[in-house]
Amino acid sequence: MQGIIDATKLKVSDAGLDFIAHWEGFVPHVYDDGWGNGTIGYGHLWQKDEPREISVDQGRALLEQDAKEVARSIKASLTRSITQPQFDALVSLYYNVGPLWITHGTVVQKINANRLAAAASTILQYSKVNGKTVLGVVRRRHAERRLFLEGTY
């Protein structure tokens, strides 16, 4: 596994972006994400002033922009250094479940308390959509946990 990095110097890696893109999948047009939100590309929340159809390259640019915002929020909440794969796993998790959970969830709190194994286990708790366990989300959480613990993209 890669070495520990000061949290203030972390940013989502290209491998982390590829990991997120794999799990999000690409949709070139606006669709309902199941929560009533217009979504496009790799899970980007569509805004009314944005195009209703995009290319893969445009989708990747939106993913990079959105992941950078999530990463910024995570960095602001972390008080200890972690590895690049751990950071990428967190960006993937919070990109998917929403940045509100960075401060209201317990994963970052456990990391800050140096309880990394507990933080990794807590990642698995974010596997429900509308109160129901969803197999694809369960698979993603296990992949994020593996990335967090083993650095396996």
| CATH code, domain with 86 | 1.10.530.40
Is there a domain that residue 37 lies in? no
Check residue 2 and give its pLDDT: 65
How many domains are contained in the chain?
1
Give the three-class secondary structure for 34. Answer: coil
Distance between CA atoms of residues 117 and 143, nearest Å = 15
Whether 127 and 137 have beta carbons less than 8 Å apart is answered as yes
Is there a domain that residue 49 lies in? no
Instruction: Express each pLDDT in 101-138 by its tens digit.
Output: 888 889 999 999 999 999 999 999 999 888 899 999 99
| Residue matched to tokens 């949709």 | 27
Check residue 130 and give its pLDDT: 81
Is there a domain that residue 44 lies in? no
Is there a domain that residue 137 lies in? yes
Q: How confident is the model at residue 35 (pLDDT cuts 50, 70, 90)?
A: confident
Q: Is the pTM of this model over 0.75?
A: yes
Note down the domain range covering 88: 4-25+55-150
What are the backbone dihedrals phi and psi of residue 87, each rounded to the nearest 5 degrees, phi first? -65, -45
| Bridge partners for 38 per DSSP | 32
Is there a domain that residue 42 lies in? no
12: left (phi over 0), alpha (psi -120 to 50) or beta: beta
Sequence-distant (6+) residues with CB within 8 A of 76 are: none
Check residue 77 and give its pLDDT: 93
Distance between CA atoms of residues 141 and 143, nearest Å = 5
Is there a domain that residue 108 lies in? yes
